[in-house]
Structure 1
């Protein structure tokens, strides 16, 4: 038995050779989410024939929990068998199968077995046992097809399920650990993941990367729809749109190997703009360390059942058109399929020029560790920072607070830190680190923060709109942590800019063998305004030149 494995660099390997999954997600166009019950076997096999003929190598497909277990307590073995049958059809055509279980959420619809009302699948003991029973049954049925499995996906976007948010990361981590262990006991060597989206970065939805520590790799989903992200952009041709999925991917890559498991343009009728977005997105994700790419989805969905009756956009997002031809505008994907799937080397480990800091606390769930950060606000500023650095010509990476910080300039786009974290940053800077810090949270400034900034607070001032001059025009900003402008005595620092009241707006200090450049304002919040983006990029270029 030759199963898919991961190498030390986070890339997939099969039969001793590197393997890059380049494929698509799949529902049959005729029935969509009703696949397991409708089971249009001829249509499925024709679509798999076409996928293989076009050079795709991986298919992610789905099983609704309510189809596998219509009433809690009794699995429908016929439906479970169809998951394995689909995997067998993939193997016959040289495709890798990537089955996804626990599809409680899909395309705007929610699907649960009878008896689930008011119960939480991630914390209810009985539902956890039913989940483990389902995972075991599916893994056992997949044993004959182990040679042509990519991995088992435990669920489609569980971060979109309110139950995960209410259960919280401790419960989801325990659930994940139980399901992974169950799957691997039933089918040793099986790779396992959870199919999550950008809410791992920009939302407190119960599925941080740390809750998936027992998974073999992480996933990332993302699409160029402004309302689905915490920072505005103006369509696919906006460069910011093409930087978002790479930024999310880089965040995941800081915690483990990452598969871009779902992506696509959603609208399939604007080929020129599709090409612009795909080129920037695909190359950016690959540079961020992505180990594979699966389009959403192979076919347009023509079914009119729920949830498609209320979501007509699913009818025009297939990688292929109604005649089975690659949709115009998708050429960048096909070009990279031919190149990347033939690469003999593993995906590149991210090798950046500037690091963005990932803090210890990113939500307000634990009163002991809560320093005021929220995933939504941190995520927005991280995306703004990432895009500004890319625009300025830098290749950014993510640096975790709990790992050795890289020998790169480090940017903190407004994350508050506790005293232990500040103490570690002081030691790093004094040993030669270069730190750019935006947003000084008055509630966290004590001796350690003063030692880090080489400055001390002297007053709490009202926040006022300010303009930080750059070669590309001023960065206009009115955002401060907790709506307080902390006036700092800069001491020996070189003050680079002051606000109209004379309060230091940017200052550069030596600190041991290192340097720190700080601003009390949340400058990265300004990047949410399109008019500020070029100026913010210029600020980064100028500030980093001073630090380096």
Structure 2
């Protein structure tokens, strides 16, 4: 497969690249031979792109210092992806990964400053975005930048050290960084990412308006452990339909024609059980592929976390399509076979754009939407799921002019 190729009506299928040796700590001492082996093993599954997630603390260890060697390492990984026949999207402010925070030291403890609000900090972030964008702008395998991984989680009130953020500041911050991405690497697909608090949690300062109104594509991160698993047993079809539900909800909040990217979706073994993993993956990918505004699916993740590394949540050790020795797992075979089938036969036009679908309108009062009214466990979610299981997933509509209320949460 050549870089830039796609199938199934132009849909893209890839993986979030998790290095098999040393996890993301490998950015401190990058071994390109190991990277090449990893990327070859991803390409062998028939995937066409990776999402690359370098560590912010490695790229910018001081507010006024961007390490040229670290930027060159990112470019080298994109080079290696291209050599394997893969395109690459690159994150910038990393940020948060698999329960760990990787903020640089100049933002922490004695040097604590506002991640979203301090003018000097935001200036530094913009410089880093421009540095990476400029370094990658001409690369034929470069898809675009994502601001960072689920940056909204730093502003959650339940975070151990929450950063202050309000909706107006969130919009200004995201708008500035996405403008820097577009300016430094024009013509690429630039985005920001967030967990499903944006859609379901009423005190989230990052709102659906930010999700669908800033950047070139709306990203969706689908994890059944955040809500579905609390309300439905592992064998319930709610798990297999959840990613599609999020895509439909994102499209409902957005303007007509805006693309959606299932940027993260994974199969957490402790919540699904070993017998459910392969079927969950196949159904999740197929149902996502039938969403008419889908750009692509990027599975989390490529390789398991090696168990020699301590203190990860248990689910993180088994999310890979391949294990830490680059052996294809049953999960990887299921995804590879599903993707191959979709590429061979395509997605039926009737499935991607059915002639008639029931419409479910998001509840609102005086033009305000409580996002929790659409979360797993809500009557709205149950009604949508009933329709999906019956045969045709309902289309979701947001009342014209409605906005998500941002409630004041507990301190």
TM-score scaled by structure 1? 0.64
Q: Which runs of structure 2 are paired with 1:41-440 in the superposition (5 Å)?
A: 41-117=32-108, 118-145=112-139, 147-162=140-155, 166-203=164-201, 204-212=203-211, 213-225=213-225, 227-229=226-228, 232-235=231-234, 237-254=235-252, 255=254, 256-267=258-269, 270-289=273-292, 290-302=294-306, 304-305=308-309, 308-341=310-343, 343=346, 348-349=352-353, 353-358=357-362, 373-380=369-376, 381=378, 382-402=380-400
Q: Is the 8 A contact 1:357 1:400 kept in 2?
A: yes
CA distance in 1, matches of 2:241, 2:9: 27
CA distance in 2, matches of 1:60, 1:293: 11
Q: Is the 8 A contact 1:84 1:142 kept in 2?
A: yes
Q: Is the 8 A contact 2:371 2:404 kept in 1?
A: no
Q: Which runs of structure 2 are paired with 1:8-19 in the superposition (5 Å)?
A: 19=10
Q: Is the 8 A contact 2:208 2:404 kept in 1?
A: no
Q: Is the 8 A contact 2:357 2:395 kept in 1?
A: yes
Deviation string, structure 1 residues 325-346 (Cα, Å, up to 9, x no partner): 3311444422231133454999
1:30, distance to aligned residue in structure 2 (A): 1.9
Q: Is the 8 A contact 1:360 1:402 kept in 2?
A: no
Question: What count of residue pairs does the alignment treat as equivalent?
Answer: 384
CA distance in 2, matches of 1:184, 1:98: 14
Q: Is the 8 A contact 1:271 1:330 kept in 2?
A: no
Mean alpha-carbon deviation: is it higher for 373-382 or for 30-39?
A: 373-382
1:24, distance to aligned residue in structure 2 (A): 0.9
CA distance in 2, matches of 1:303, 1:271: 18
Question: Does the C-alpha gap of structure 1 residues 385 and 157 become closer, same or farther in structure 2, counting only changes over 3 Å?
Answer: same
Q: Is the 8 A contact 2:306 2:324 kept in 1?
A: no
Q: Is the 8 A contact 1:27 1:35 kept in 2?
A: no
> Which has a greater percent of strand?
1
1:287, distance to aligned residue in structure 2 (A): 2.5
Deviation string, structure 1 residues 93-120 (Cα, Å, up to 9, x no partner): 2200111111111110111112213433
CA distance in 1, matches of 2:96, 2:360: 32
Deviation string, structure 1 residues 448-481 (Cα, Å, up to 9, x no partner): xxxxxxxxxxxxxxxxxxxxxxxxxxxxxxxxxx
Question: Does the C-alpha gap of structure 1 residues 400 and 374 become closer, same or farther in structure 2, counting only changes over 3 Å?
Answer: closer
> Which has a greater percent of helix?
2
Secondary structure of the structure 2 residue equivalent to 1:192: coil
Secondary structure of the structure 2 residue equivalent to 1:167: coil
Secondary structure of the structure 2 residue equivalent to 1:112: coil
CA distance in 1, matches of 2:74, 2:356: 41
Secondary structure of the structure 1 residue equivalent to 2:187: coil
Q: Over alpha carbons, which structure has the higher Rg?
A: 1
Q: Is the 8 A contact 1:278 1:330 kept in 2?
A: no
Indicate the RMSD between aligned Cα atoms, in angstroms: 3.2
CA distance in 2, matches of 1:123, 1:57: 37
Q: Is the 8 A contact 1:30 1:303 kept in 2?
A: no
Question: Does the C-alpha gap of structure 1 residues 264 and 206 become closer, same or farther in structure 2, counting only changes over 3 Å?
Answer: same
Q: Is the 8 A contact 1:159 1:165 kept in 2?
A: no
CA distance in 1, matches of 2:181, 2:324: 37
1:359, distance to aligned residue in structure 2 (A): 5.5
The answer for unaligned runs of 5 or more in structure 2 is 157-161, 406-411
Structure having greater relative contact order (Cα 8 Å, sep ≥ 6): 2
1:230, distance to aligned residue in structure 2 (A): 8.3
